[in-house]
Amino acid sequence: MKKFSLWCDFIENSFLDNEFLTLLENKINGATSNPSIFKNAILNSASYKEKISRLKGKKAKEIYEELAVLDIQKAADKLALKFFNNDDGFISIEIDPRFYDNTALSLGEAKRLYTAIARENVMIKIPATPASYEVMYELMKIGVNVNATLVFSLEQSQKCFEALNEGLKAFRKNNISLNPDCAKKIRSPKGVISIFVSRFDRLLNSKALEKNRIGILNANLAYNNIIRNNEPNIRALFASTGVKGDDLAKDYYIKELLFENSINTAPLDAIHAFQKDFEFKKPLMNFELYTELNKIISQDEREKACQILLDDGLEQFCRAFEEILRVL
């Protein structure tokens, strides 16, 4: 069955009690968070002030985690019906972004957060760095849903898929193959690979022969790489799909990536603009993608951009996280 999912790339405590419920009724079936989203929510929303005041005396990271865990639990509970109806219903939380190059710390924090939240429909968000592929594998192996984030290159998407898939196979072997009577009762973990889109265009438009196409074509490549493996528990998620400025429709990156069995996590203005009476787009094949990409910009420029964007994404999330801690 063809399926397209739209997730909200925003959470905030009072939003979850109000507009989020309306969106759940008619537009979205999941949500995501990241350190930048939590920074804007915690530092700018009055709904956190009382809680922060009550938590004074605790370490800054403990305060942050208590606030974040409460929001994630609330979102998970409001998404639970969709989850148990097999209509996604996931909410993501990212581990401390400063651990991106430390496998042991990342894995320990991921397990601790998952246990603290105690909701089946939580995804632990892990950045796609060399130190993190083992983390993704180990989490899927023990049944924890994973959101592999900050994916820019085809190589990253492939390594993420391999890590998630090997972990999924290990989980199934340990929990289902050895106990077939329980197969229907056991829910296998889900993984998503978050391919960032619009940041490519913002970085490379000034050098490209055609604007606002590189991110879409690059995401199409990663999608093809994931979908060809025919593993329904691991899906492509298109992230960074917001539009800056007025030269494009707010839902441009949603409409251009309407591929079956994909997910788009979008900011609120893009979600409001998007109408769900849509037709699926047919993804281009790899040879078509490479032909078009090479006409627009060189492979060398694209490869350099992947590393620049990954480094910048890690830095942005680390900076946002540290800003939260300084204020708390």
Report the half-sphere exposure of 325 (CA within 13 A, side-chain side).
15
∠ CA 20-23-24, rounded to 5°: 85
Query: Which residue's structure tokens are 């969709």?
Result: 82
Closest CA to 253 of 1, 6, 2: 6
Contact yes or no for 172/182 (Cβ under 8 A): no
d(CA 69, CA 87): 23
Instruction: Collapse the DSSP code of 93 into the 3-class scheme (helix H, G, I; strand E, B; otherwise coil) and give the result.
Output: strand
Q: For residue 149, report the phi and psi dihedrals to the nearest 5 degrees.
A: -115, 170
Query: Which residue's structure tokens are 């093809």?
Result: 224
Catalytic residue among 39, 125, 190, 250: 125
Cross-strand bridge partners of residue 181? none
Q: Active-site residue 125, yes or no?
A: yes
For residue 80, give every residue at least 6 positions away whose Cβ sits within 8 Å of its Cβ, in sequence order, or none: 89, 119, 121
Q: So which residues are the catalytic ones?
A: 125
